[in-house]
Chains A and B, each alone.
Chain A
Amino acid sequence: MKRGFPILAIVTAVLLSFGLYEALIAAPTERTMGDVQRIFYYHVPSAWTAFLLFLINFVASVTYLIRRNAKADILAMVTAEVGVVFCTVVLVTGPIWARPVWGIWWTWDLRLTLTLVLWLIYVSYLMLRRFSTSSQTPVLAAVLAIFGALDVPLVYFSIWFFRTQHPSPVIGDGGSLDPRMAHVLLINWAAFLCLAWLVCWTRYRLEVVQREVEEAQSLESLLEGEGSR
């Protein structure tokens, strides 16, 4: 397991650099939007990665509630954190792309709004984890993740219907994709997936050590308490 890490790091670096080159230089310039369209190669894969991470969080949360094993809990926490990071990227690159192309910073279109709501739900999840003083925070967090997952289809349908009533510009690729562009998109997605994996792995190990340290600390203070009597 530990040997895989440097290999993953190198693969990630290679894919990211290659993806960057492809996105900025090799990919054809889009007809209507021009070079700004290249933001798409970062915006879309980040969204897919974020959603995947949140999905893993959901599965890990359910697993934790059933099995109560610490590994599932740590995985849930890690994917939530990294998911929020990628989600933030989506929410920042979206408006930066929208402004020059569609003239507005924000639009309540389906994908962007769904991303925003997911971001809000998962930030609230992270806040619960941080501010909870209960010894059973993992259970509470897992339950919240389930509520969030139940909410997603409802959010989707509510925004979808709202949009059919009040149409607005759609931030998107606008139809069929040139195969050369699809190729660049996929490379960058692979790169971001590897990056997500790498960062999650790092955060996971960090959390494992953190918990061991905390346990050792509480053991130490317990023993000190005993000794001073």
Chain B
Amino acid sequence: MSFLAILRATLAKDLLLEWRSKDAINAMLFFSLLVVVIFSFAFDPTAEESRRIAGGLIWVAFLFAAVVALNQTWARELRNQVLDAYRVSPAPANPLFLAKAVGNFIFVSVLEALMTPLFVMFYKLRPLGPAWELIPIAILGTWALVVNGTFFAALSIRTKSREIMLPLLLFPISIPALLGMVNATSAILTGEESAKFWIALLLAYDVVFTLACLLLFETILEAE
């Protein structure tokens, strides 16, 4: 089977399975909502201050939601010995990784799309800079979290306390991306600076780590 064929098949299968078993989705949606509400209680600034800190708050909230989604990335594969099958078969494992990463990306994007209007409402946000730039920031930022998150989820499959291992590994490596996402968003919201450097940084981060993940996924898959 070709690369794209495997990719499409795996992705379609994942999305279909997630759609059918709605429990996980519902729990995560509710979790995302809770995060927004709790943050709103914890940080209740005036409209002026809110623009400065909202960037950070939003992305931390997205980060937590992403970790919840990422933790179950490989759960189904583990249960059904899919990874063992990939290990023995001559088929490349990269389409599997990409399918998982794209699936996670779609899922986390849905969570973000739901959380954002709530944030805007609670914090009375109105971007003073070019708002359309928020779209590449969201895409690049989410991909940065998801691509490394999917990879590290695979890395932590055989570890004790798997659920805590993922964020432990992901957070330090994601720091430059987080700086990028938060500062870019704040730049757009406050309109005080240009987000261009941060967007370029996020792009560089995404390229470097997507390549790294694709090159090294087979290595770690074989090592499990």
Q: In the complex, what residues of A have CB within 8 A of residue B9's CB? A: none
| Known contacts A120-B172, A151-B173, A158-B180: A133-B159 contact under CB 8 Å | yes
B18 at interface by CB-CB < 8 Å? no
- The docked-state distance in angstroms from the alpha carbon of A143 to that of B220 is 8
Interface segment among A26-34, A121-129, A210-218: the answer is A121-129
- The docked-state distance in angstroms from the alpha carbon of A139 to that of B217 is 11
Interface segment among B37-45, B109-117, B161-169: the answer is B161-169
A187 → chain B, closest Cβ, in Å?
33
B160 at interface by CB-CB < 8 Å? yes
Q: In the complex, what residues of B have CB within 8 A of residue A223's CB? A: none
B17 at interface by CB-CB < 8 Å? no
B22 at interface by CB-CB < 8 Å? no
A146 at interface by CB-CB < 8 Å? yes
A83 → chain B, closest Cβ, in Å?
14
Q: Which chain A residues (160-209) contact chain B, with CB distance < 8 Å?
A: 161-162, 165
Q: Which chain A residues (30-86) contact chain B, with CB distance < 8 Å?
A: 65
Q: Is the interface of A mostly helix, strand, loop or mixed?
A: helix
Apart from A132-B159, A151-B176, 16 more pairs, CB < 8 Å: A117-B172, A121-B173, A128-B156, A131-B160, A131-B165, A134-B157, A134-B223, A140-B223, A144-B155, A151-B172, A154-B201, A155-B176, A159-B176, A161-B197, A161-B198, A165-B193
- The docked-state distance in angstroms from the alpha carbon of A148 to that of B170 is 11
Chain B CB count within 10 A is highest, among A121, A123, A140, for A140
- The docked-state distance in angstroms from the alpha carbon of A150 to that of B183 is 21
A136 at interface by CB-CB < 8 Å? yes
- The docked-state distance in angstroms from the alpha carbon of A157 to that of B200 is 11
A105 at interface by CB-CB < 8 Å? no
Chain A CB count within 10 A is highest, among B172, B179, B198, for B172
Closest chain A residue to B160, Cβ basis: A131
- 9 nearest A-B pairs in the assembled complex, by CB-CB distance: A136-B223, A120-B172, A139-B223, A134-B158, A158-B176, A154-B176, A158-B179, A121-B172, A131-B159
- The docked-state distance in angstroms from the alpha carbon of A131 to that of B222 is 19
Q: Is the CB of A128 within 8 A of B160?
A: no
B69 → chain A, closest Cβ, in Å?
20
| Known contacts A134-B223, A154-B208, A157-B201: A128-B155 contact under CB 8 Å | yes
Closest chain B residue to A127, Cβ basis: B168
- The docked-state distance in angstroms from the alpha carbon of A127 to that of B155 is 12
A–B complex contacts, Cβ < 8 Å, 19 sampled: A65-B219, A120-B172, A124-B172, A127-B168, A128-B165, A139-B223, A140-B155, A143-B219, A147-B148, A147-B173, A150-B208, A151-B172, A151-B176, A155-B175, A155-B176, A157-B176, A158-B176, A158-B179, A161-B197
Interface residues on A, range: 20 to 34
As a 0/1 sequence over residues 7 to 20 of chain A, the CB contacts with chain B under 8 angstroms (1 = contact) are: 00000000000000
Closest chain B residue to A152, Cβ basis: B176
- The docked-state distance in angstroms from the alpha carbon of A132 to that of B223 is 12
Q: Is the CB of B216 within 8 A of A143?
A: yes
| Known contacts A127-B165, A128-B169, A150-B208: A161-B160 contact under CB 8 Å | no
Q: In the complex, what residues of B have CB within 8 A of residue A65's CB? A: 219
Q: Is the CB of A117 within 8 A of B160?
A: no
- The docked-state distance in angstroms from the alpha carbon of A155 to that of B171 is 13
B64 at interface by CB-CB < 8 Å? no
Q: Is the CB of A150 within 8 A of B168?
A: no
- The docked-state distance in angstroms from the alpha carbon of A161 to that of B199 is 12
Q: Is the CB of A146 within 8 A of B155?
A: no
- The docked-state distance in angstroms from the alpha carbon of A120 to that of B43 is 27
- The docked-state distance in angstroms from the alpha carbon of A136 to that of B172 is 23
Q: Is the CB of A133 within 8 A of B179?
A: no
- The docked-state distance in angstroms from the alpha carbon of A174 to that of B53 is 32
Q: Which chain B residues (206-224) contact chain A, with CB distance < 8 Å?
A: 208-209, 212, 216, 219-220, 222-224
Q: Is the CB of A140 within 8 A of B220?
A: yes
Q: In the complex, what residues of A have CB within 8 A of residue B223's CB? A: 134, 136, 139-140
Closest chain A residue to B183, Cβ basis: A162
